[in-house]
Homo-oligomer: A and B are copies of this chain.
Amino acid sequence: MPPTPNRQPAKPTGLECRMAVLGADVRLTPHRREVFEVLQASTDHPTATDLFTRVKDRSPGISLATVYNCLEHLTGAGLIKQVHLERGQSRYCANLHEHVHFHCETCGKVIDAHPAADFDPAKFWNLPAGTRVSRMELAIHGTCSACAAR
């Protein structure tokens, strides 16, 4: 039996490329990179199938399962966010700035809304002492200005 090799943890080299955000990291494989780039280029808040359609134009062989897989890894690494606005498909968002989502119930459009500079969400709700908050998700539903104008 050969001596136990002094195996190092795999390090990124060559084509392999990692991005680290908030301590987590992902290997940015070609598919993951494309899903990420397509999402970053999207101003709407696409669903997994929306992204599947868009990425297929660039990588015809990609499968929906891979898109879901990529989204899961990217979400886990904190590179993108999963958004739950209503029942049905989840939506995804590459805007990492703190923001909330406005959802127009008439046309379905989703708009990012950013909080006022002095907004401190934690102090507005009377959570029991000892509660730890890891994230908040605010969905505002209504009618967007374009629809309201009609």
Using CB atoms, name the residue of chain B closest to A131: B145
Cβ-based interface call for A107 (8 A): no
Q: Find chain B residues with CB under 8 A from A100 CB.
A: 125
B140 near A139 with CB under 8 A, answer no
Q: Find chain B residues with CB under 8 A from A105 CB.
A: 134
Using CB atoms, name the residue of chain B closest to A106: B132
The 4 closest A-B pairs by CB, nearest first: A130-B145, A113-B125, A133-B142, A132-B143
Please give the number of chain A residues whose Cβ is less than 8 angstroms from any Cβ of chain B in the complex: 39
Q: How far is the CB of A24 from chain B (nearest CB, A)?
A: 16
B144 near A131 with CB under 8 A, answer yes
- Chain A residues with a Cβ under 8 A of chain B: 84-87, 90, 100, 102, 105, 111, 113-116, 119, 123-145, 148-149
B132 near A142 with CB under 8 A, answer yes
Which of B90, B137, B139 is close to A141, meaning CB atoms less than 8 Å apart? B137
Q: Find chain B residues with CB under 8 A from A113 CB.
A: 125-127
Between A and B, 25 residue pairs with Cβ closer than 8 Å are A84-B87, A100-B125, A102-B125, A115-B124, A116-B123, A116-B124, A116-B126, A119-B124, A127-B140, A128-B144, A128-B145, A129-B145, A130-B145, A130-B149, A131-B143, A131-B144, A131-B148, A132-B142, A132-B143, A134-B141, A134-B143, A136-B139, A136-B141, A137-B139, A138-B138
